[in-house]
């Protein structure tokens, strides 16, 4: 897991070329001009999903994970928190879709704040529950870019 300011992405000691490319594209693109939906950056190796939603409560948050792709989460508009966790001995699969590379798990995580200044890289071993209302805040309308990079 990597959490940092998008303006500082070049300072990160990253050797994976696809991740470097993904962070560069993420940082240097005006996502407010893009349509919602899926957009390929480098075929199926790197693509983005741009979504819009209203944040949910902590109680509604469910940890998810992926096996074929890592995520770079970037909140274009609004602020939210993402619950982050790791596999534990008692972590169990609640539901799974190999086709969508989407797996939901039991458990709760720690909260990572997200806004248009920061990004969060989530590897397949990093479970996450995105789209949660920031503590003490009202639910917000969010525009989010999730960049998927094949591992």
In this predicted model, what pLDDT tens digit does every residue of 11-26 receive, in sequence order?
999 999 999 999 999 9
pLDDT digits (tens, 9 = 90+) for 34-71: 999 999 999 999 999 999 999 999 999 999 999 999 99
CA 6 to chain centre: 13
| Spatial CB neighbours of 112, under 8 Å, sequence gap ≥ 6 | 3, 81, 82, 83, 84, 120
pLDDT digits (tens, 9 = 90+) for 114-137: 999 999 999 999 999 999 999 999
User: Beta-carbon neighbour count of residue 55 at 10 Å?
Assistant: 22
CA 91 to chain centre: 20
For residue 58, the domain's CATH number is 2.60.120.370
In which domain, by residue range, is 20 found? 2-150
Number of domains forming the structure of the chain: 1
pLDDT digits (tens, 9 = 90+) for 84-102: 999 888 888 999 999 999 9
pTM of the full structure: 0.93
pLDDT of residue 108: 82
User: From CA 84, how far away is CA 18, in angstroms rounded?
Assistant: 23
CB 23 within 8 A of CB 9: yes
User: From CA 60, how far away is CA 151, in angstroms rounded?
Assistant: 29
Quick check: 107 pLDDT over 90? no
pLDDT of residue 103: 92
pLDDT of residue 109: 84
Q: Determine the straight-line distance between the first and last CA of the chain, rounded to whole angstroms.
A: 14
pLDDT of residue 141: 97
Is beta strand 46-54 parallel, antiparallel or unpaired with respect to 141-150? Answer: antiparallel
């Amino acid at each position: 897991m990597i959490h940092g300011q998008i303006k500082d992405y070049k300072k990160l000691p990253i050797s994976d070329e696809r991740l470097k490319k993904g962070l560069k594209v993420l940082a240097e693109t005006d996502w407010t001009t893009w349509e919602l939906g899926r957009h390929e950056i480098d075929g199926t190796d790197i693509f983005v999903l741009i979504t819009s939603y209203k944040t949910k409560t902590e109680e509604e948050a469910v940890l998810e994970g992926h096996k074929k792709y890592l995520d770079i989460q970037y909140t274009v508009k609004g602020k939210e928190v993402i619950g982050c966790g790791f596999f534990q001995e008692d972590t169990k699969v609640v539901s799974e879709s190999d086709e969508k590379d989407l797996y939901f798990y039991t458990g709760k995580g720690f909260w990572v704040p997200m806004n248009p200044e920061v990004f969060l890289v989530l590897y397949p071993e990093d479970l996450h529950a995105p789209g949660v209302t920031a503590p003490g805040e009202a639910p917000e309308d969010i525009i989010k870019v999730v960049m998927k990079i094949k591992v």
